[in-house]
Amino acid sequence: MGNHIGKEIEEVAFSLFQELGVENVSMHKIAKTAGVGQGTLYRRYANKSDLCLSILGDKFEQLIPALHLYLSNISDQPVRERLRYVLEEIHLIVGHHLDWIRMLTISGNLEQTSKVYDCRYSQSLKQIIRDLLEEANAKGEAKIQDIELTALLMSSPITPELMYYIHESGYSIDEIARFAAERQILTVFQ
């Protein structure tokens, strides 16, 4: 099956998700609306979690170049400030896509949902964070023992369930993102 069919399926699914909500759209509805057989759909995407991951990955992948550009424009800023910006962006992505990310966790098993950390977007974010942490160590701004593990943990935002709970308690997504990023920064830059 060509990549063209996959993109068409993803465009149809994205439109349906935006219109009806992720949880309210079945794989059957996606296949029917896209004009493909369910077999074709399931050969490409094992479940709705896979489909959401693919769509989100494509959308988020587009943000990486903008993030690199922004960071290059503020390269004279302390590592702490640049890292705070990256971490806030990660939390904002979660906050603005709670229903999508929730679908990743409920539609697949733990092994499937953990694949999110292997996608290009996650790997790119982890590399950006790793580079900043290495720079902080080299400049003496921080003393990080395990940069790889620290980068992985920092590139992993708070859970969508916790984000939702805090948001429902009256905090804006922006406030939550700023606070979560600051907490992470404090663990490295004490």
DSSP for 64-83, please give it.
Answer: HHHHHHHHHHTTTS-HHHHH
Q: What does the block give as tokens for 121?
A: 């977007």
Amino acid found at 7 = K
d(C-alpha 67, C-alpha 133), whole Å: 16
Q: Residues of the chain whose pLDDT is less than 70? A: 1-3, 104-110, 112-113, 115
- Kindly report, residue by residue over 6-20, the tens digit of the pLDDT: 889 999 998 998 899
Cα-flanking dihedrals φ and ψ of residue 118, to 5°?
-95, -10
Side chain identity, residue 37: G
State the Cα–Cα distance between residues 3 and 15, nearest whole angstrom: 18
CATH of domain 53-188: 1.10.357.10
* Domain extents in the chain: 3-45, 53-188
Cβ proximity of 57 and 129 under 8 Å: no
| CA separation for the pair 98, 92 (Å, rounded) | 10
Query: 3-45, superfamily in CATH?
Result: Homeodomain-like (1.10.10.60)
Closest by Cα among 139, 136, 135, 173 to 157: 173
CA distances from 155 to 3, 99, 127 (A): 29, 20, 9
Please provide the DSSP assignment of 81-150 as one string: HHHHHHHHHHHHHHHHTHHHHHHHHHHS-HHHHGGGGGSHHHHHHHHHHHHHHHHHHHTTS---S-HHHH
pTM of the prediction?
0.80
Say if CB 45 and CB 10 are below 8 A apart: no
**Is 53 in contact with 116 (CB distance < 8 Å)?**
yes
DSSP codes joined into one string, 51-65: HHHHHHHHHHHTHHH
